[in-house]
């Protein structure tokens, strides 16, 4: 009986000693930042390890919305400037004495993104970004030009401006993006002499205002206790002249005429329509890695707006974009062109045709047949069904000087890949410099023209994708 008691005692002692060795315990950490900003947190400040032991960070896995680095007890997280939402960095701790690893811990970062906003006052819900790549959100290139609003059906995948011309020495300068996959040519904010990271974060900004908000402000700004809403209070009317930015940027109504925006004295944003979006971007911040073109020194000030007219089908299904494009460089450019690049996807994207109207200065996408199917294999793209609509892009104050429909299948009529290719397309040529020719696909014919598919699709005698009997596809 004595021997049995001794064995039991030894067993209990062994268990007690083993239970004392414990891995580190992690308490989750939380932070909130603006897109593009950086935050550093001592994640071990609220973690635990056994007395007399030390621990260190191990196995850090960054999330989808930014990059991270770590040193000693601190994890530093920097958000991508296009990310919006909640991101999570996962990590474990190692007890350096007993070698035990903790369970997985979480550093959770809420990223607020002022560089993304939407026009949504009428039948269209269209997302705008601070860097000029519109109607599509990064990093996953998710299209967001929805018509009708809330339907999940789309007519445009993405849209951006191309700019290009020659300086006094004949040097070509190009800024042009397609999908921001291979690189970037445009950046948030005004042209500056000095570019600071804080400025980049501050100007990752798309400002939205509604007419009723302005009317309320103008009627009440003078009342005791009144505070303007954030959109009016923070309207980006002025640049930082100490950094070489222009003094006047976003347009405003200057009630007292003193030249300074002060909403507490009755000043307010200037807008068009019933809802408006304003932002500014440039091609000057860094070398161009999408087009590989030389920088222009261009500042693009954009005012997009829409009207709340549910009984007017035209205004209810239209948004307007007004550009103020300023040469902030010391160069004098000539043969300078402005091009709108539009990847149109009318519902189901693989059955589309495109064309243009040279008299009314617009180009458009329409369905090749009378039934726009729903795609179930790739992305569950919703089609418009029977009798689908068409989508047009209209130039209101400049004539349409050319129209060309490229593809991204790496053929002779594909999208450009060099600065010269961009400039050729901007001049109404194929990327290799060959002219558009009348008839068929527009390539390799005998009669050079500047407009591809200018004919009425309902008239078989006019040149259109219908009369050319092209295969419907993504345009």
pLDDT of residue 255 exceeding 60, the answer is yes
Is omega for the bond preceding 139 within 30 degrees of 0, making it cis?
yes
In angstroms and rounded to an integer, the radius of gyration of the C-alpha atoms of the chain is 29
Of the candidates 190, 415, 172, which has an alpha carbon nearest to the alpha carbon of residue 293? 172
Residue 377's pLDDT is 63
Is omega for the bond preceding 315 within 30 degrees of 0, making it cis?
no
Q: Coil, strand or helix: which one is 217?
A: helix
pLDDT of residue 4 exceeding 70, the answer is no
Q: Are 292 and 418 in contact (CB under 8 A)?
A: yes
Residue 380's pLDDT is 67
- The better pLDDT of the pair 111, 5 is held by 111
Work out the burial of residue 128: count CB atoms within 10 Å of its CB; fewer than 13 is exposed, 13-18 middle, 19 or more buried. Answer: buried
Residue 440's pLDDT is 95
- Report the distance separating Cα 171 and Cα 275, nearest Å: 41
Tell me the CA distances in angstroms from 255 to 10, 147, 178, 248, 431, one per residue in order.
89, 38, 41, 16, 50
Mean pLDDT of 350-376: 94
Tell me the CA distances in angstroms from 329 to 169, 172, 173, one per residue in order.
15, 14, 12
pLDDT in tens, 116-164: 999 999 999 999 999 999 999 988 889 999 999 999 999 999 999 999 9
Of the candidates 160, 207, 157, 156, which has an alpha carbon nearest to the alpha carbon of residue 185? 160
pLDDT in tens, 26-48: 999 999 999 999 999 999 999 99
Torsion of CA 21, 27, 28, 34, to 10 degrees: -130
Tell me the CA distances in angstroms from 175 to 80, 149, 203, 245, 265, one per residue in order.
22, 32, 20, 20, 40
Of the candidates 161, 211, 188, which has an alpha carbon nearest to the alpha carbon of residue 338? 161
Other beta carbons within 10 Å of 202: 17
DSSP string, 132-198: S-BSEETTTTEE-EESSTTS--EEEEEEEEEEEEE-TT--EEEEE-SSSSS--S-EES---SS--HH
pLDDT of residue 102 exceeding 70, the answer is yes
Residue 379's pLDDT is 60
pLDDT in tens, 51-78: 999 999 988 999 889 999 999 999 999 9
- Report the distance separating Cα 15 and Cα 60, nearest Å: 33
- Report the distance separating Cα 329 and Cα 146, nearest Å: 37
Task: Give the whole-number percent of the chain exceeding pLDDT 70.
Answer: 95
Residue 5's pLDDT is 35
- At 407, list the tokens: 């593809």
Angle at 323 between CA 176 and CA 352, to 5 degrees: 60
Residues in the chain: 475
pLDDT of residue 13 exceeding 50, the answer is no
Residue 78's pLDDT is 95
pLDDT in tens, 291-332: 999 999 999 999 999 999 999 999 999 999 999 999 999 999
Quote the mean pLDDT of the chain: 93
Q: How confident is the model at residue 3 (pLDDT cuts 50, 70, 90)?
A: very low
- Report the distance separating Cα 278 and Cα 358, nearest Å: 30
Q: How confident is the model at residue 9 (pLDDT cuts 50, 70, 90)?
A: very low
Strand partners, 143: 136
pLDDT of residue 376 exceeding 90, the answer is no
DSSP state of 243: G
pLDDT in tens, 397-425: 999 999 999 987 768 899 999 999 999 99
> Locate tokens 């690049």: which residue?
341
Q: Report the predicted TM-score, pTM, of the whole model to 2 decimal places.
A: 0.89
Q: Are 443 and 437 in contact (CB under 8 A)?
A: yes
Buried b (16+ CB within 10 A) or exposed e, 424-442: bbbbbbbbeeebbbeeeeb
Residue 81's pLDDT is 86
């Amino acid at each position: 009986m004595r021997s049995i008691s001794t064995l039991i005692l030894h067993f209990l002692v062994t268990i007690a000693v083993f239970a004392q060795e414990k891995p580190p315990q992690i308490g989750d950490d939380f932070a909130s930042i603006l897109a593009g900003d950086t935050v550093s947190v001592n994640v071990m400040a609220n973690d635990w390890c056994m007395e007399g032991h030390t621990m260190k960070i191990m196995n850090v896995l960054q999330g989808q919305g930014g990059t991270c680095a770590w040193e000693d007890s601190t994890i530093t997280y920097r958000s991508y400037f296009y990310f919006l939402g909640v991101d999570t960095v996962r990590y474990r701790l190692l007890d350096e004495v007993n070698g035990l690893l903790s369970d997985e811990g979480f550093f959770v970062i809420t990223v607020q993104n002022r560089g993304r906003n939407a026009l949504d006052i009428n039948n269209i819900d269209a997302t705008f970004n601070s860097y000029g790549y519109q109607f599509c959100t990064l990093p996953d290139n998710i299209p967001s030009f929805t018509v009708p609003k809330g339907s999940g059906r789309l007519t445009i995948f993405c849209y951006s401006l191309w700019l290009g011309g020659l300086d006094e020495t004949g040097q070509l300068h190009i800024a042009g993006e397609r999908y921001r996959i291979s690189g970037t040519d445009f950046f948030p904010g005004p042209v500056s002499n000095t570019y600071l990271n804080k400025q980049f974060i501050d100007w990752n900004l798309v400002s939205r205002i509604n007419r009723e908000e302005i009317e309320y402000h103008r009627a009440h700004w003078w009342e005791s206790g009144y505070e303007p809403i954030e959109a009016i209070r923070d309207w980006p009317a002025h640049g930082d002249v100490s950094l070489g930015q222009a003094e006047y940027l976003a347009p405003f109504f200057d009630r007292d005429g003193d030249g300074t925006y002060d909403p507490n004295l009755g000043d307010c944003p200037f807008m068009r329509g019933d809802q408006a979006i304003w932002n500014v971007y440039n091609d000057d911040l860094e070398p161009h890695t999408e087009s590989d073109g030389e920088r222009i020194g261009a500042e693009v000030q954009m005012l997009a707006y829409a009207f709340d007219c549910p009984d007017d089908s035209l205004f209810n299904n239209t948004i307007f974009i007004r550009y103020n494009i300023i040469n902030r460089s010391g160069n004098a450019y000539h043969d300078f062109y402005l091009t709108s690049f539009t990847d149109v996807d009318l519902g189901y994207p693989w059955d589309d045709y495109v064309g243009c109207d040279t008299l009314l200065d617009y180009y458009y996408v329409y369905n090749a047949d009378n039934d726009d199917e729903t795609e179930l294999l790739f992305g569950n793209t919703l089609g418009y069904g029977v009798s689908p609509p068409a989508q047009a892009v209209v130039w209101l104050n400049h004539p349409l000087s050319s129209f060309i429909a490229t593809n991204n299948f790496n053929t002779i009529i594909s999208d450009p890949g060099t600065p010269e290719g961009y400039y050729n397309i901007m001049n109404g040529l194929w990327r290799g410099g060959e002219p558009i020719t009348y008839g068929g696909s527009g390539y390799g014919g005998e009669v050079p023209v500047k407009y591809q598919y200018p004919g009425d699709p309902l008239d078989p005698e006019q040149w259109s994708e219908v009369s050319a009997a092209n295969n419907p596809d993504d345009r």
